[in-house]
Amino acid sequence: MGERSAVKKQLIVDAARRVFADKGYKDVTMTDIVEACGISRGGLYLYFGSTRELFLEVMRAEEGMDDDVFAGQLGEDAAAVDVLMLFFREQKREILGKKGDLSMAVYEYCFAGEDGKEEPALKRRFESAIRALERLIEAGIDDGSFYEVDAREVSRNVMYALEGMRICSRTMGLTEAEVDGELLALARGLVAE
């Protein structure tokens, strides 16, 4: 695959990302992608044989974008509390926001998984997020701003609760107050304030 092809491929993936974010996973047709990226039907098939392949590519492109979430943020000037608050603010936005994010598509893709084969990449990413949060909590404990909790345990609980809110928001709807309430409760489990 030459230089040109790589560019075109990226163009397709970008367009596909928009489509998946908009329509989820199962409702997306090859026609949707074709229309979104202004390429020919046959042309698209030269690169991707199905919406599944395309979605996997979109996911792969997504990887690494938010690894080491807190890497570099934790410095001398940034306190653990501040980083945590930043993280929560970001999460709140994602949980309440409906458009432009892939979470529904990801869920749907997983549901569609044949034979219950879970996506290992997804788990890897989730675990890596847990560990990152864990390190943040440890840092908070070290500098005395957080309670002396079991960092691993609390990190997992926070992540499950966030995931729970994400799905609740998309299925039954959550108000901003409800999200704020839970985030506050989670924060109070770590810091006095």
Partner DNA sequence: TATGAATGAGTCTTCATTCAT
Partner DNA sequence: AATGAATGAAGACTCATTCAT
Contact footprint for its own copies (CB under 8 A): 24, 26-27, 98, 104, 106-108, 110-112, 116, 118-120, 122-123, 126, 150, 153-154, 156-157, 159-168, 170-173, 178, 181-182, 185-186
- Number of residues located near DNA, criterion CB under 7 A: 20
What is the identity of the amino acid at 150?
Answer: D
- Given a contact cutoff of 8 angstroms between Cβ atoms, the answer to whether 164 and 182 are in contact is no
99 lies in the binding site for DNA (CB under 7 A):
no
User: What value, to the nearest 5°, has the Cα angle with vertex 45 and ends 40 and 50?
Assistant: 125
50 lies in the binding site for DNA (CB under 7 A):
yes
* Residue 8, contacted partner among DNA, its own copies, none, CB below 5-8 A by kind: DNA
Residue 132 contacts by C-beta under 8 Å, 6 or more apart in sequence? 68, 69, 70, 71
* Residue 6, contacted partner among its own copies, DNA, none, CB below 5-8 A by kind: none
Residue 129 contacts by C-beta under 8 Å, 6 or more apart in sequence? 69, 159
* Beta carbon of residue 106, minimum distance to its own copies (angstroms, whole number): 7
- Assigned token pair, 148: 């002396």
| Binding-site ranges for DNA (CB under 7 A) | 1-2, 4-5, 8, 28-31, 39-43, 45-47, 49-51
